[in-house]
Structure 1
Amino acid sequence: MNRIIQKLKETDQSENKQKKLLSIYFTAGYPKLEDTIKIIKDLETSGVDFLEIGLPFSDPLADGPTIQESSTQALKNGMTTNKLFDQLKDIRETVKIPLIIMGYFNPMLQFGVEKFCQKCQKAGIDGLIIPDLPVDVYNEEYKAIFEKYRLLNIFLITPQTSEERIRFIDSVSGGFIYMVSSASVTGSTKGFGEDTKAYFKRIAAMNLKNPQIIGFGINDKETFNQATEFAAGAIIGSAFVNYITAYGTNKTASFIKEIRDF
């Protein structure tokens, strides 16, 4: 069974119904090129439920300044698609939690979609998040390839996504739906207003078959708790990248402890 689905099932069946999933996004190859594996291992040890490994891209349109800057630095450090797969080649000897690669479609297309998916399977990647790959295009052209290599493709919805499209995304999806908290870029939200909370409630009331994980604007314990009141979990990206920029990669456990008590 795919590790993402297994993790979702375990949490759903857990006696601790208050436990909500925490995912952390970080940029591969940042702050230093060879930090990728250390960060993954430290986050798992700190109790994170799954990880989003950012594949740097030169034109990351959905990302705010923090992640854009980390991508730029990672590329300067020498991070490439091939380098990432080389770093990940033995990751499943030690790391058990679900791993997701998040990146833009252009580098994957240049690499070769099937070759990329094949490399993901070989490395033990469980899913992909590709913000600029439309669900229609995926469904018609790439779904069979993803399924061949047992990869889940995680789709994003926003407050502006129509109910019809959300239900189509839900029908095509496996695992979870990435629920963007706002229409802005990552790292730009300070807390959640009433409109955002109403959006969270609206999606929860749709009773979709796939659970929702909320991302964008989750930066501390308060916003994590606000988001997970309405969803199965939440994703933190820019706040973690800012943290390791300021404090290095040796205090990961402290960051996670500030977000969630175990």
Structure 2
Amino acid sequence: MNTIEKKEGKPLLSIYFTAGYPTLDSTISIAKKLEEAGADFLEIGFPYSDPVADGPVIQHSSEVALENGMTVKILFEQLRELRSHVSIPVFLMGYVNPVLQFGIEKFCEECKNVGINGVIIPDLPMYEYEELYKETFEKNGIANIFIVTPQTSEERILKIDSLSNSFIYLLSSNATTGKTLDVGDNTTAYFKRIRDLQLKNPLIVGFGISDKSTFEKASSFTAGAIIGSAFVKRLKEQNFLNQFPAFISSIKG
């Protein structure tokens, strides 16, 4: 279940949202409604006080979640009922500092206990993962998702592919989250270059995917794409849970 595969050849849509936003107890209800609306897999962010890779929308959601009292411990308590409501793959995304404070081994064990498929920790160095934590992740069946950027060397990409057992997170650019994807000549060449390496793990594009057009452009080179900021914005609206089907349909068609 950690492996992400296209369904009937169609690109996969993942949705990111921050645990504890807009309210402390909204995590499970959002996840459940997203699956019902047609999301293929989910990324649940655990908030951190210094989210350097995040744009203003997700930074704001993290600030509110922390003010609401969200912690890694509380998130795992909430996720104990996750698999009673959600069957699609679910990944946690966040920064390494809260994970280290919680304890890597305990974190991986809790992920296993609540049915999390993998984690995305952008600031966890690859060599640290390989030398210190790989065995713990694998023992608990938790995939570690690595990130590739336009500046990542071919040698490093091949190394990432060899260490991966789920998907590779392909950043559309070096910008923070929330910037609109511009699939110009440079970005197209970058996507093609990675695709032509014929990696064993599927590629999922993140950063800048906000609508049907950007989703289709990104997915034409990869197995699918992730929408974060454009979805998190919707959580400010009244009756936001009822709007998920229309939102997902507007992207997947």
Query: Shorter-normalised TM-score: what interval?
Result: over 0.9
Listed one character per residue, the Cα deviations across residues 34-68 of structure 1 (whole Å, up to 9, x for unaligned) are 11011000000011110000000000011111100
Contact 2:203–2:224 (CA under 8 A) maintained in structure 1: yes
Contact 1:52–1:101 (CA under 8 A) maintained in structure 2: yes
**Identical pairs, percent:** 57
Kindly indicate whether residue 181 of structure 2 is the aligned counterpart of residue 203 of structure 1: no
* Cα distance in 2, alignment partners of residues 243 and 59 from structure 1: 23
Kindly indicate whether residue 163 of structure 2 is the aligned counterpart of residue 172 of structure 1: yes
Kindly indicate whether residue 239 of structure 2 is the aligned counterpart of residue 252 of structure 1: no
* Cα distance in 2, alignment partners of residues 106 and 190 from structure 1: 29
Q: Aligned pair in 2 of structure 1 residues 190, 212: CA closer, same or farther (>3 Å)?
A: closer
Listed one character per residue, the Cα deviations across residues 104-157 of structure 1 (whole Å, up to 9, x for unaligned) are 000000001000111111010000000000111101110000011100000000
Kindly indicate whether residue 61 of structure 2 is the aligned counterpart of residue 70 of structure 1: yes
Q: Secondary structure at the match of 2:38?
A: coil
Q: Give the TM-score of the pair, scaled to structure 2.
A: 0.97
Q: Please point out which of 157, 163, 177 is paired with 2:148.
A: 157
Amino acid at match of 2:167: F
* Cα distance in 2, alignment partners of residues 65 and 193 from structure 1: 24
Alignment of 1:95-106 (within 5 A): 95-106=86-97
Kindly indicate whether residue 60 of structure 2 is the aligned counterpart of residue 91 of structure 1: no
Amino acid at match of 2:217: Q
Q: Secondary structure at the match of 2:236?
A: helix
Amino acid at match of 1:78: G
Amino acid at match of 1:252: F
Contact 2:35–2:86 (CA under 8 A) maintained in structure 1: yes
Q: Please point out which of 158, 176, 179 is paired with 1:185.
A: 176
* Cα distance in 2, alignment partners of residues 66 and 194 from structure 1: 28
Shift of 1:190: 4.3
* Cα distance in 2, alignment partners of residues 73 and 30 from structure 1: 6
* Cα distance in 2, alignment partners of residues 213 and 221 from structure 1: 16
* Cα distance in 2, alignment partners of residues 194 and 243 from structure 1: 31
* Cα distance in 1, alignment partners of residues 85 and 234 from structure 2: 25
Equivalent position of 1:4 in the other structure: 2
Q: Secondary structure at the match of 1:250?
A: helix
Stretch deviating more after TM superposition (44-53 or 240-249):
240-249
Kindly indicate whether residue 128 of structure 2 is the aligned counterpart of residue 137 of structure 1: yes
Shift of 1:189: 2.6
Which segments of 5 or more consecutive residues in structure 1 lack a partner in the other structure? none
Alignment of 1:31-46 (within 5 A): 31-46=22-37
Contact 1:243–1:255 (CA under 8 A) maintained in structure 2: no
Amino acid at match of 1:139: E
Equivalent position of 1:116 in the other structure: 107
Shift of 1:253: 1.1
Q: Secondary structure at the match of 1:100?
A: strand
Shift of 1:218: 0.3
Cα RMSD of the aligned pairs, angstroms, is 1.1
Alignment of 1:48-67 (within 5 A): 48-67=39-58
